[in-house]
Amino acid sequence: MASDEAETDETPAFWCDAMLGGLARWLRAAGYDAAWIEGIDDAELVRRALATGRILLTADTELARHGAIRSGRIRAVLIPAGHTKFEQLRYVMRALSLRRRQPRCMACGGRLRPIPRDAARPEVPPRTFAWCREYFRCVRCAKVFWRGTHWRRIAARLEAL
Ligand SMILES: [Zn+2]
């Protein structure tokens, strides 16, 4: 994984509304820090977006009319209805002129750092460990990742962006 990709203050990070958990995962795969909590209510979502300065992504037209968004205190993108999760990703990336970056943790959006193969061993199924050489650990939640078949499917779809 390339380490020359500088993370700057301008790299956008996101809060996804309760309906957009799938979009949050796609954003992480595309290299962006996207937070999502199952069942989070709008008031809490607005509070967290204000506190963190993250861009709020919502498919809820009512929420998009919230005062904090209309006044510009929260930057938000309204996701059109009827999109698949992948189309939602494409919509956000076009709307904000984002390019694909190094993938982040699919569980929490944290950055992934390469780790030695032996360090990954206890957390990897033996059959995977037998063939896979490269492993990564999330700096935030410590989950271990590798480029298995699931990851390859995701990467192939991202190529289409
Ligand atoms: Zn993580």
pLDDT in tens, 96-155: 999 999 999 999 999 999 999 999 999 999 999 999 999 999 999 999 999 988 899 999
What pTM was computed for the model? Answer: 0.91
pLDDT, tens digit, for every residue of 58-108? 999 999 999 999 999 999 999 999 999 999 999 999 999 999 999 999 999
Top-confidence residue, 135 or 160: 135
Residue for token digits 């990703």? 89
Share of the chain above pLDDT 70, in %: 94
Question: Is 44 within 8 Å of 36 (Cβ atoms)?
Answer: no
Question: Is 82 within 8 Å of 5 (Cβ atoms)?
Answer: no
User: Does the pLDDT value for residue 2 go beyond 60?
Assistant: no
Distance 110 CA to ligand 1 centre (A): 5
> Residues whose CB is under 5 A from ligand 1 (ion)?
105, 107-108, 110, 138, 140-141, 143
Q: What mean pLDDT is predicted for residues 17-21? A: 96
Distance 142 CA to ligand 1 centre (A): 6
